[in-house]
Amino acid sequence: MSNILFFFIFFSVQTIGSAVVILFTRNVMYAVTALLSSLLGVAALFVLAGADVLGVIQIIVYIGGVLVLTLFGVMYTYQSPKRYQESIPHKKSVFILIPLLFVLVLLVQALPLLPMIDDPYQHASKVEVTGMLWLTEYLPIFEWIGFLLLVVLIGAGWIGSTLVQEDKSKGEQV
């Protein structure tokens, strides 16, 4: 098993396992934390595939932006934590197993246990190539994405504005 394959399996298990946790947990905080872990796993998979720019964007946009927003949303609407309290079976072993796994990953990297067959870091950074492509061939796509976001904004604004009007008319009736 090459080093790359080992890391691929590790991060795949992390991504899918966390996604399963999101599905089955009843505690919102656990779900958000598991989402964080799942998104980090995806970012790692991007880096393994040589798409370092995409990995960084994944971290900045999803983990830095979307997830922090979600987290604040959850915290503001969070009711008594006891309602969602759930017992984790074999609590101790789970909490020991997860850190152990991370230590294992560090060990694999530190000690030359596995042969490095295809090291992604030997390739040059993709930032320049990606940037060139984005500003030349894929420029229309970005304009259309901008257009799409405009549509979404109008929709959101439109839904909101109608609600305000309804509230006003209700106020007048009272």
Alpha-carbon span 154 to 51, nearest angstrom: 33
Minimum distance from CB of 49 to other proteins (Å)?
11
Alpha-carbon span 161 to 128, nearest angstrom: 43
Q: Per 3-state DSSP, what percentage of the chain is helix, strand, and coil (rounded to 5)? A: 80, 0, 20
Minimum distance from CB of 38 to other proteins (Å)?
16
Cα→Cα distances 141→75, 159, 164, Å: 36, 27, 35
Straight-line distance from the first to the last Cα atom of the chain, in angstroms, rounded to the nearest whole number: 73
Site for other proteins, rule CB under 8 A: 137-141, 144-145, 147-148, 150-152, 154-155, 158-159, 161-163, 166
User: Is the Cβ–Cβ distance between 77 and 50 less than 8 Å?
Assistant: no
Closer residue to other proteins, CB minimum distance, 101 or 152: 152
Minimum distance from CB of 143 to other proteins (Å)?
9
Compute CA 149 distance to the chain's CA centroid, rounded to the nearest angstrom.
21
Minimum distance from CB of 139 to other proteins (Å)?
7
Closer residue to other proteins, CB minimum distance, 88 or 133: 133
Closer residue to other proteins, CB minimum distance, 124 or 159: 159
Closer residue to other proteins, CB minimum distance, 68 or 149: 149
Closer residue to other proteins, CB minimum distance, 78 or 147: 147
Torsion of CA 61, 44, 125, 140, to 10 degrees: -40
Minimum distance from CB of 73 to other proteins (Å)?
20
